[in-house]
Amino acid sequence: MNNFEFANPVKIVFGKGMIARLGALVPEASKILLVYGGGSIRRNGVYDQVREALNGFDVLEFGGIEANPHYETCMKAVDIVRREQVSFLLAVGGGSVIDATKFIAAASCFEGNEPWDILYKGAPIRRALPLGVVLTLPATGSEMNERAVISNIATQQKLNFTTPLVFPKFSILDPEVTYSLPARQVANGVVDSFIHVVEQYLTYPVNAKVQDAFAEGLMRVIHEEGLKVLDNPHDYDIRANLMWAATNALNLWIGQGVPQDWSSHRMGYALTAQFGLDHAQTLSILLPGVMTYMFEEKKAKLVQMGANVFSITEGTDDERAWKTIASCEAFFKQMGLKTRLGECGIEEKDVDALAALVDEMGWHLGEHHNIDSRVAKEIMLLRL
């Protein structure tokens, strides 16, 4: 196991009715900007619960954050924060609203001219406004991590940044608010959170038993409950287990002291930015390609994952590893996601442009840093 040093300072408030605790969690006398998305919170009652819990606070609102949040929209909120001297940001929504709020928190305090530099050039973030979260969609883990992903519509780029300054001060997770999710978003959340675990697990063994056991446990839970949730949308226990699993899948714990491979995520950004594919949809297409292309490098962990997640114990190592890849792809299909670029109307002629972001950003992805734009292209060609 490699050395590590980390802290996760996010306070989690989990369970039925917990939005009522909001007033006690926000610092006293805060001037709050409530950030939300396209209006689902107004239809499912979450907005009313939040406003009631914030009774007595000075609250401004900023709605209209898109899925895969736009830089341009976030900058409109930054103007409001600066003009109105907002002191606390409250994200009420899924990963997109939370990520947008994290970016608004950092960009509002940014001293340079162009806050896009935070994402494009890794410009340093020295301060950020404090933020809290009411989560409505279990998927990204953004409610308990220090990262965010933002899309620039003008340049057709999607990029991420990380800083401990944007860890939420608290996140409220009430599984009941997920009952109103459309099936497509439920499935996206299941697949995204499963693949978050995979990207921190499926590299090569470093004898990190705690991390491996934790990761395998999360994958088993997400697989088992994921297969039940679409037929049982109002089952509290299924929703609760999926919600807590998704948070743990990307809250830094399982990734400590182990090699990681975020190549499917990074390559997937271009599929969203250029073709508008949902984030999870990019992953269910690309991950089987990474597993196939890097078969030899990942074989030992594929065999281990097969045994401990899918109960694949028969056959040679090669056979077991291939069955693991097939089981993952079958799972994504069972959840209703596509697993081929062609199913999304993306053709061979599009692949150069999709791999170009890897080149432009100078990325060398994967646990061995050997996925450059040439390899990214070959992986994408495997998924046509």
Q: Is 144 in the site for ligand NZQ (CB under 6 A)?
A: no
Confirm if 194 and 251 have CB atoms less than 8 A apart: no
Annotate 232-246 with b (16+ C-beta within 10 A) or e (fewer): eeeeeebbbbbbbbb
Question: Minimum Å distance from CB 268 to Zn ion?
Answer: 8
- List, in sequence order, every residue forming a beta bridge with 93; answer none if it has no partner: 135
* Minimum gap (Å) between residue 282 Cβ and Zn ion: 9
Can residue 222 be called a binding residue for ligand NZQ (CB under 6 A)? no
Say how far apart CA 98 and CA 102 lie, in whole Å.
6
Contact flag: residue 199 with Zn ion (CB under 5 A): no
Quote the Cα angle for 362-363-365, to 5°.
160
CB of 42 to ligand NZQ, least distance (A): 8
Q: Which residue, 171 or 185, is less far from ligand NZQ as judged by CB?
A: 185
Residue 95 CB, nearest distance to ligand NZQ (Å)? 3
Bridge pairing between strands 31-36 and 157-162: unpaired
Q: Does position 278 bind Zn ion by CB under 5 A?
A: no
Applying CB under 6 A, the span of 38-46, 81-89, 212-220, 295-303 interacting with ligand NZQ comes to 38-46
Comparison of 49 and 185: residue with beta carbon closer to Zn ion? 185
Instruction: Give residue 257's identity as a one-letter amino acid code.
Output: G
**Token pair recorded at residue 254:** 């399982």
Cα–Cα distance measured from residue 67 to residue 83, given in angstroms and rounded to the nearest whole number: 26
Candidate list 146, 174, 176, 192; residue touching Zn ion; CB under 5 A: 192
Alpha-carbon distance of 287 to 383, in angstroms, equals 9
Cβ atoms 138, 193 nearer than 8 A: yes
The one among 95, 132, 175, 289 contacting ligand NZQ by CB under 6 A:
95
Name the site residues for ligand NZQ (rule: CB under 6 A). Answer: 37-41, 44, 67-68, 93-97, 99, 136-137, 139-142, 145, 147-149, 177-178, 180-181, 185, 188-189, 192, 250, 265, 279
Instruction: Give the residues lining the site for Zn ion (CB under 5 A).
Output: 192
